[in-house]
Amino acid sequence: MSKIIAAILTKNEARHIGDCIKSVQWADVVTLEDSFSDDGTVEIAEELGVKIFQSKFVNFAVARNNALKNAKSLEAGWIFFVDADERVTPELADEIQRVIKTDDAAGWWVPRYNIMWGHTMRGGGWYPDCQLRLMKTDAAQYDPEREVHEIVMLDGEAKYLKEHLIHYNYDSLAQFKRKQDRYIDFEAKILKDKGIRAKPWTYLTMPWREFYRRYFLLEGYKDGWVGLQICSLMSWYMFVTYLRLRKLYQTN
């Protein structure tokens, strides 16, 4: 089956949703997995002919599994996940439509350009930032234990596309800080669920390892001042994640 669904997860994405939908209208059906937006997101999507599904947000893995279930109900053989702040280029659209008809892979990784306050990232783990977004609906499920930065459990081989997604993920440094602060709670909970506890030295070693990994090993220095800012902040957030992990143990 080569019928393909483009699925978008949303919660108050009115600013982005119109352009995102227009970039995936080559798909057979576009669906919105919406967590009861109240800013006009749903109304914009409806005007563009999108099929709307709404459910309470639990975590990202649950939301994507819901999208897979809904794609199957629409008898789609393939699903392509795109976030509201991402855009599919015409070249990527052509490549997707070609491979689902000519290749037997169960899924495809997509490279992604991340744009942060106007700067297209070249290092620090932000490029090529490949995402497993294109997959057969009957071969994929998201790990329910991974609530953020979710992981696909794929039954079959995954290959790599050449064309890129464009990701307008952060307009400003302040927005980056706000979003990372939300992720920290998810990450701390994941660590606790795995039984991980911080040693006294962890609060120093893990942040330093994160900075070294991103800035030197992943070449964050290629992004100049922006790269230094982001690598330093990711190091700081690693420190805060372990502080919140300690708090979770103290309150339970």
Q: pLDDT at position 2, please?
A: 86
Do both 68 and 87 map to the same domain? yes
Do both 106 and 195 map to the same domain? no
Q: pLDDT at position 1, please?
A: 65
Residue 208 structural domain: 172-250
What is the per-residue pLDDT across 167-222, written as a single tens digit (0 to 9) for each?
998 999 899 988 888 889 889 998 999 999 999 999 999 999 999 999 999 999 99
Do both 227 and 193 map to the same domain? yes
What is the per-residue pLDDT across 58-103, written as a single tens digit (0 to 9) for each?
989 999 999 999 999 999 999 999 999 999 999 999 999 999 999 9
Q: How many domains does the chain have?
A: 2
Q: Tell me the pLDDT band of 135, cut-offs 50, 70 and 90.
A: very high
Q: pLDDT at position 165, please?
A: 98
Q: pLDDT at position 33, please?
A: 98
pTM of the model: 0.89
What is the per-residue pLDDT across 209-232, written as a single tens digit (0 to 9) for each?
999 999 999 999 999 999 999 999
| Closest by CA position to 139, among listed 97, 182, 107 | 107
What is the distance between the alpha carbons of residues 71 and 160, in angstroms, rounded to a whole number?
Answer: 22
Q: pLDDT at position 150, please?
A: 86
Do both 155 and 186 map to the same domain? no
Q: Tell me the pLDDT band of 251, cut-offs 50, 70 and 90.
A: confident
Do both 198 and 74 map to the same domain? no
Judged on CB neighbours under 10 Å (0-12, 13-18, 19+), 97 is: middle
The chain-wide mean pLDDT, for the chain, equals 95
Do both 32 and 63 map to the same domain? yes
Final residue belonging to a domain, choices 124, 149, 169: 169
Do both 57 and 161 map to the same domain? yes
Residue 110 · residue 165 · CB < 8 Å: yes
Do both 147 and 240 map to the same domain? no
Two structure tokens written together for 62: 């649950």
Output the domain CATH number for residue 43.
3.90.550.10
- What's the first-to-final CA gap in the chain, in angstroms? 49
Final residue belonging to a domain, choices 125, 140, 169: 169
Identify the H or E element spanning 17. Answer: helix 14-22
